[in-house]
Amino acid sequence: MPLTAYDLGERTAFVTGAAGGIGRASALLLAEAGATVHCADRDEAGLGETGALIAKAGGSAQLHRLDVSDRAQVKAALEAAGPVHILAAIAGVMHTSSVLDTEDADLDRVLAVNFRGVLHACQEAARSMIARGIRGSLVTMASGAVDAGRPGLFCYSVSKVAVVQLTRTLACELGPHGIRVNAVAPGWVRTPMTAQHAAEEQGRIESMMLRLSPLGRLGRPEDVAQAVLYLAADSSEFMTGQILRPNGGVSMPW
């Protein structure tokens, strides 16, 4: 049944990175709130699992296998989706290396997905909304990494800082069209992406985050999905150009 505070019935949402982690949790929650959800990812098997979970819960989903770094693929999928009211640009990758050990190819790969992938999705979704007169919502995925320097996360942090600036600029440019643009900057969340760390490194990071969090626990994909849902719904209709930080209090920037 739709969540009464966030009724998205008769709306269409397009979610990138929907094959797992935060993207899957967001797609499921948007569908639960009544939206028809278009799930996009390059992981075809994971997409199928997400679609099956949405269908099992009584929701409606369409699946698009694509690489967000390829603008043509993103444009084609959004055109096929028809009128889109909500974009959740969540697809991302992580690379760890010191600045001195970072190769150009490392930075290029992360920026291609984490920044240009978000840019492509936002541009194409916004163009569609403007052409149809839709007062929609774009939700981008930043990171707690934008608030602090973390050793080894140079590529990832740079890409997420770029997403924050994109979000702010788009909020200014799209506001006159009635389109809101906001970012979510989660803390450390257990997802398939963060699980790529070596077990020892992952354990060190999680131990540190537990010490820093006043709530004393790590984040779950569902915690972040709640922020995505809030920004997608009318409950946040007077919010744009902002960053929500579901991070358990690990950082508290003003």
101 pLDDT band, cuts 50/70/90, is: very high
Q: Which of 46, 53, 166, 152 is nearest to 114 (CA)?
A: 166
Query: Would you say domain 8-244 falls under CATH 3.40.50.300?
Result: no
Report CA 111 to chain centroid distance, whole Å.
15
Residue keyed to tokens 């999928």? 77
181 has a pLDDT exceeding 80: yes
228 has a pLDDT exceeding 60: yes
For residue 181, list its beta bridge partners: 138
- Calpha distance 168→42 (Å, rounded): 28
Please give the sequence-ordered ranges of beta strands (E in DSSP) within 67-106, or none if there are none: 86-89
pLDDT, tens only, 42-74 = 999 999 999 999 999 999 899 999 999 999 999
Q: What are the two backbone dihedrals, phi and then psi, of residue 122, each rounded to the nearest 5 degrees?
A: -65, -45
Q: Which of 103, 66, 118 is nearest to 126 (CA)?
A: 118
Angle between helices 104-114 and 154-174 (to 10 degrees): 30
Question: Long-range contacts made by residues 41-44, C-beta under 8 angstroms, separation at least 24?
Answer: 41/16, 41/17, 41/65, 41/66, 41/91, 42/66, 42/67, 42/68, 43/19
User: Is 6 an annotated catalytic residue?
Assistant: no
For residue 228, list its beta bridge partners: none
- C-alpha Rg value of the chain to the nearest Å: 17
Per-residue confidence (pLDDT) for residue 195, from 0 to 100? 61
Query: Considering 154, 156, 188, 230, which one is annotated as catalytic?
Result: 156
Q: Which of 218, 224, 235 is nearest to 24 (CA)?
A: 224
Q: What are the two backbone dihedrals, phi and then psi, of residue 208, each rounded to the nearest 5 degrees?
A: -65, -45
Please give the sequence-ordered ranges of beta strands (E in DSSP) within 34-153, or none if there are none: 36-41, 60-65, 86-89, 137-141
2 has a pLDDT exceeding 60: no
- 167-179 mean pLDDT: 98
DSSP assignment, residue 150? -
The pTM (predicted TM-score) of the whole model is 0.93
Task: Delimit the domains of the chain by residue range.
Answer: 8-244
What single-letter amino acid sits at 217?
Answer: R
In this structure, are residues 158 and 101 in contact, taking their beta carbons and an 8 Å threshold?
no
- 199-222 mean pLDDT: 77
- Residue with the larger pLDDT of the pair 203 and 4: 203
In this structure, are residues 28 and 57 in contact, taking their beta carbons and an 8 Å threshold?
yes
4 has a pLDDT exceeding 80: no
Per-residue confidence (pLDDT) for residue 211, from 0 to 100? 78
